Amino acid sequence: MFHRIFDKGFKGTALALGFTLLAGCATDSYYLVSKQDIHDLDATMTSQRSGLNTLYETSIEQTDTLIRQNQSSTEQVLAAIREQVKPPSCPPIPQPVRCSAPAPTSDARANTGPRLDGKLVVGERERLYIIGPGLLYVARIDSGAETSSLDARNIRRFERDGQNWVRFEVPVPNSNGDYVTLEQEIVRNVRILQSNDEEYERRAVVELQFAIGDHQQKAEFTLTDREHLTNNVLIGRNVLRDVMLVDVSKEFIHELPESLLSAEEDNL
């Protein structure tokens, strides 16, 4: 009897112990990593956080130190520059020099040309000096012509640096048929209809600087063959307008300055 009771009690105790062991095994099966490894990982992360905080604080201190050192170096350099470079001193203001009036020269006669209301009075013909080639012509003054013209031969157009140019020959005054070659940029073209022709003639227009007496001016000249005409140069309204007045009762009112008289005085 006692043996049976003991046997049943032993079996119950053993069964309870088995369930307890199985329950413990089931609880541990939920962890893929052991608890000790988790504790070690937490300790490592805590240590790394502490190290990162220490590095951050150290970098902040080093940056502040570098900034202070740079500011100090900059101040030293600026102080050295200010010491070596002195502000410039203003030079004394020069006193104006009083010059005596120059003695009159032979060119003074060029300033005696008549004027009316600020405009140059010219005769029906005047000596005209082309500045540059140094040619002295007798020009006919014609208020009925719109554009001035110059006697030109062998007119040839060409291109230079993408611009339209013209090469032409002009007669040398008082020579035995001599010519000088000039090259000028074309400023525009005009179409001329001759009275005995049904087609327009295209002529090049160039700018030339000239002098009549003491008056110098730059104006447009049409290039055309004037061999059949008396004068090599015609002065039209494009030159006269607002600048000159014509007195048709007179000729050669103005004389050129001596500095321009490299050609003959007359071309009559």
Average pLDDT, the chain: 79
Taking only the tens place, the pLDDT of each residue in 219-230 is: 999 999 998 888
How long is the chain? 268
In 3-state terms, what secondary structure has residue 120? strand
Under a CB-based contact definition with an 8 Å cutoff, are residues 166 and 223 in contact? yes
Which residue segments constitute the domains of the chain, with CATH numbers given? Answer: 108-260 (2.40.70.10)
pLDDT at 208 over 80: yes
pTM beyond 0.85: the answer is no
Report the pLDDT value the prediction gives residue 264, as an integer from 0 to 100.
Answer: 44
Extract the runs of DSSP E, i.e. beta strands, from the chain: 115-116, 119-123, 125-130, 135-141, 148-151, 153-160, 163-171, 179-185, 188-193, 200-212, 215-224, 233-235, 244-247
End-to-end CA distance of the chain: 176
Mean pLDDT, residues 116-126: 91
Say whether pLDDT at 268 is over 70. Answer: no
**pLDDT reported for residue 100:** 43
Worst-scoring range by mean pLDDT, 52-61, 79-88, 231-240? 79-88
CA distance 239 to 257: 20
Which residue did the predictor score with more confidence, 236 or 20?
236
* pLDDT at residue 26 is higher than 60: no
In this predicted structure, what is the pLDDT of residue 185? Answer: 95
Greater model confidence, 89 or 158: 158
